[in-house]
Amino acid sequence: MTKAVMSALIRPLVEPRLPDWVEPLWFMTKEQALEMAPEAEIGWFDLNEKEPMIEIAHAATGLKWLNSIYAGLDFLPLDVLHDRGVTVTNGVGINAITIAEYVVMLMLAHAKGYREVVRAQERKEWLLDSPGKRELSGERVLLLGLGAIGGLIKTRLEAFDMKVIPVRRSGGEGALRPGEWREKLGEFDWVVLAVPSTEETRHMIGAAELAAMRPNAVLVNIARGDVVKQDDLVEALKAKTIEAALLDVTDPEPLPEDHPLWELENAQITMHLSGRAQTKMFQRSADRFVENLELWHKGEAVEPQMDLQAGY
């Protein structure tokens, strides 16, 4: 029997479908997970806080496969997991649809000034003109990150007749290579960040990049807060050297109540809700896990696997 230590939150979706070679051990608390972790060959250690997950990962000394609903697992001790030979599957793509839809919503809401429309309704004021007059059609988008989420963002924005230029290592087919996009920032109306958080992407948008953007440029970040130098962004927004920033993510999270971003009219903050704006996350993750169990038992590759050295 293969022991699998898993959160009881996923139990109703997984337990009836477990094969007979899996012995499940369900935990409700961090303490229970830590106690069970050394027995785990398969672990699904998701909790709401990062620190307990780090502790549990260290304690799971016999772990062979770690699964998670989260796409970003860069906070885990990836070097330890790599040295132990652990296979890690994450939640890449689980929330891709809703995050891509969220990007479209943010862009449309900004383009049409929808926040002002909502405020006018609350005041019971009948507006005689639209507070926003931008059209997405015909505008140019620089898309940094063409993974599961970025690919869906691209097709949805193209449906609005936007010209989307992605950045990818191989280049080709209208894409830019990683070393080419900075010199072309001034050609784009929108810059959308959908990259993983790595040493390579940390603070990839700072004062120089913001200064190179058009005055009407809008930065959209649904990646991670630390891919942007937040102090530099605040200064650019205050000086209005770019038009706006639409931020589903910040650094840190939650954003402190006294942070200047809250007060800036040209910043929209959506509290990292893009991936939560749906009801199918757990079902999709459970389905993927059960399918992967069959592959694991056959000795075949489970998906999607993290590159523990690259961090994503």
103 and 153 Cβ atoms separated by less than 8 Å: yes
Catalytic residue among 135, 180, 253, 265: 253
277 and 102 Cβ atoms separated by less than 8 Å: yes
308 and 82 Cβ atoms separated by less than 8 Å: yes
Q: Is residue 253 among the annotated active site residues?
A: yes
Q: Structure tokens of 182?
A: 């900075």
CA dist 234 and 273 (Å) reads 21
Q: Is residue 272 among the annotated active site residues?
A: yes
209 and 182 Cβ atoms separated by less than 8 Å: yes
CA dist 228 and 249 (Å) reads 10
CA dist 234 and 310 (Å) reads 30
Q: CA-based Rg of the chain, rounded to a whole angstrom?
A: 22
Q: Is residue 180 among the annotated active site residues?
A: no
CA dist 34 and 2 (Å) reads 18
Number of H helices, E strands in the chain: 10, 11
Catalytic residue among 110, 224, 284, 288: 224
Catalytic residues: 224, 253, 272
